[in-house]
Structure 1
Amino acid sequence: MNKQIPSASICTPYDTPACVTSPDGSATWLSRGRTFVVAISRAMAHSSLERSDNPDEYMLLVPNGIRAIVQAGADHVAIDGEGDSLVIVPPGSSGVTLQDDGYVTRIFSHRAVDLMAAASNAADHPAQEADEAPAAPPGGFRLRHYRLDEHKKSDSPARPFRSTNMLINAFVPRDFRRDTRKMTPHAHGDFDQASLALQGNFVHHLRYPWTSDMSTWRDDGHHGVGSPSLIVIPAQAVHTTQDVGEGWAQLIDIFSPPRADFVEKPGWVCNEADYPI
């Protein structure tokens, strides 16, 4: 019997109710794959996003123009809002205090079982059973802050960053559109992908594999979204993304655990010195 893969799921915070709201007016949208959960928060100045005893590392994306203080134990990082920032937060208790209104994104592994259960698409993507967290990297767990505009490749718009438990590919923002004669439809055989739109408008093109049972065949999907938004693409689904319209476009791809083909390519991962193979 052929097992049907899940359909892709889309989260659009700009026009759907939040999963969690706070008394200060902040709101958070949660969406997951099998091995990760993404929290997009519309935070208010002086609001705080707290995690108590998180079991492993998570990533925080803070866009240009938003100032924040990230605290983990006795350690802290001050984000001045000058450019896009990525912070890798160590296990344990932590908090993010915003000094400006705006959207920030946190990316957790499936070990954050409370967030996995609260995700809006929890019924659509079976979660991987929580397992033991990875060992600490050389130098131990600590806050690690990266300014994304300091990491650009001369031959590629890709900017991969990894932690012990996940990898993101933060593409360089651009104000021109992709050549539609050079699209890259592909599929991942055994892992899900999420694509996070932070600026601009996109169409996610999807094709599901056929099985021997024609009753399970699905039409191709062409999903138009704005920003911020998130699409979770299940393993085996053929996919490619097209930026459309005018203005700046910025997309970030998310994987957990880190993609072996990225990690094993010397010099490809921007922070490989902090997380060697």
Structure 2
Amino acid sequence: MAYTKDDPRSALAAPRAAAPAAGDGIAAPQFLDFSVLPPDAVSADGSSQWIVRGQNFVLIYTEPAAGDLVWKSTLRSEQVLLLIDENSAVSGTTGTGDSHEVTGPALVVVPPGESAITSTGTGPIAALLQSDEAEWAAKASNAAAYETPAPHVAPLEPWPEPVDGYRWRTYLMSDVPDDPKRFGRIFRTRAFMVNFMPARPGPRDLSAMSPHFHDDFEQASLVVAGTYIHHIQTPWGTDGRKWRPEDHAQVGSPSVTIIPPPTIHTSQGIGWRTNHLIDIFSGPRRDFSARPGWVLNADEYPGPDD
């Protein structure tokens, strides 16, 4: 773990163990660049969707046509909607008959059961579902990568139910002031943790990188603006036949990169205008949750030890 002194993550506890060797079956990273990949579905009204998955989650990224019903579903668990920018807007209904209007940038939690989401804007929307929603998991363009469960990724064990029950919840990024002592803008649900990082102008300082690894969870980095290089290194073991070259993969926006544990990784924004990514984890991270004030809705979604 290597962070600069002014990086809030420098206060995190070290991983529980050293990274396993390559011979232990570490999965390969996946680079899914929607800026060059055709959509998996296009609606009659012109909305485009890309569907990908990780071990514990499904991500549906939609570039919508205004007024289009972008999806309608009945789910056993909560879903998370990410309204990426100020042009992202939805009208949502749930099985209880209530309706909601939200304009981004925002994170929305939709309760289990029936829901219908109509885009009232033209900005992008990302939906996060649990991968045990088998119908959606099967639609993922990379579903074949998970025919065998990913090694080293812990199965999802949902955290406790929200203290006031399931309901539609809206978190506007405009309500979150900057705080240099806090890392990003972190929200959690029973199954997800999302760091809705602020957009950054210009390239990242190459002298202030942050190579690190995770014990037992994937990281999905959703790039929504700019250009990034994802630097990912698979640890080497004694069997050189199983060594994997380092990845220094350049991706555009939008794109999703799935970073398996325990690869060493860091991401570098290189676009000269705006670079913006959102980090997604399933389930919630204990290390981030342990830092006071980092999880902005911790009072609504308790941790397993609360």
TM range (shorter): over 0.9
- The aligned length equals 275
What is the match of residue 84 of structure 1? 105
CA distance in 2, matches of 1:127, 1:107: 19
Counterparts of residues 57-206 of structure 1 (less than 5 Å) = 57-62=78-83, 63-73=85-95, 74-79=97-102, 81=103, 83-125=104-146, 126-127=148-149, 136-155=161-180, 156=182, 158-206=184-232
Counterparts of residues 8-23 of structure 1 (less than 5 Å) = 8-23=29-44
Secondary structure in structure 1 of the residue aligned to 2:288? helix
Q: 2:274 aligns with which of 236, 248, 257?
A: 248
TM-score by length of 1: 0.92
CA distance in 1, matches of 2:156, 2:231: 33
**Contact 1:56–1:111 under 8 Å retained in 2:** no
Secondary structure in structure 2 of the residue aligned to 1:254? strand
1:138-185: CA deviation from partner (whole Å, max 9, x where unpaired): 110000001112213421451110011110011111214322111011
**Contact 1:33–1:234 under 8 Å retained in 2:** no
What is the match of residue 251 of structure 2? 225
CA distance in 2, matches of 1:7, 1:112: 24
Higher mean C-alpha displacement, 22-31 vs 165-174: 22-31
1:73-125: CA deviation from partner (whole Å, max 9, x where unpaired): 2222212x3x4111011111111101222321111122222222221111224
CA distance in 1, matches of 2:27, 2:209: 24
Letter in 1 for 2:296: C
Secondary structure in structure 1 of the residue aligned to 2:297? coil
Higher mean C-alpha displacement, 213-222 vs 125-134: 125-134
- Is structure 2 residue 50 aligned with structure 1 residue 50? no
**Residues 70 and 224 of structure 1, relative CA distance in 2, 3 Å threshold:** same
CA positional deviation for 1:133:
5.9
Ranges in structure 2 where 5+ consecutive residues have no aligned partner? 1-21
Secondary structure in structure 1 of the residue aligned to 2:274? coil
**Residues 267 and 247 of structure 1, relative CA distance in 2, 3 Å threshold:** same
What is the match of residue 4 of structure 2? none
1:205-261: CA deviation from partner (whole Å, max 9, x where unpaired): 110111232111111111111111110111111110000121111111100110011
**Contact 2:183–2:294 under 8 Å retained in 1:** no
CA distance in 1, matches of 2:79, 2:47: 20
Secondary structure in structure 2 of the residue aligned to 1:102? coil
TM-score by length of 2: 0.84
CA distance in 2, matches of 1:4, 1:132: 23
CA distance in 2, matches of 1:70, 1:250: 26
**Residues 169 and 112 of structure 1, relative CA distance in 2, 3 Å threshold:** same
**Contact 2:89–2:122 under 8 Å retained in 1:** no
**Contact 1:201–1:243 under 8 Å retained in 2:** yes
What is the match of residue 7 of structure 1? 28
**Contact 2:190–2:301 under 8 Å retained in 1:** yes
1:183-212: CA deviation from partner (whole Å, max 9, x where unpaired): 011111111110001111111111011123
Ranges in structure 1 where 5+ consecutive residues have no aligned partner? none
Higher mean C-alpha displacement, 252-261 vs 118-127: 118-127
Secondary structure in structure 1 of the residue aligned to 2:200? coil
CA distance in 1, matches of 2:155, 2:259: 20
- Is structure 2 residue 45 aligned with structure 1 residue 24? yes
**Residues 179 and 272 of structure 1, relative CA distance in 2, 3 Å threshold:** same
CA distance in 2, matches of 1:190, 1:139: 30
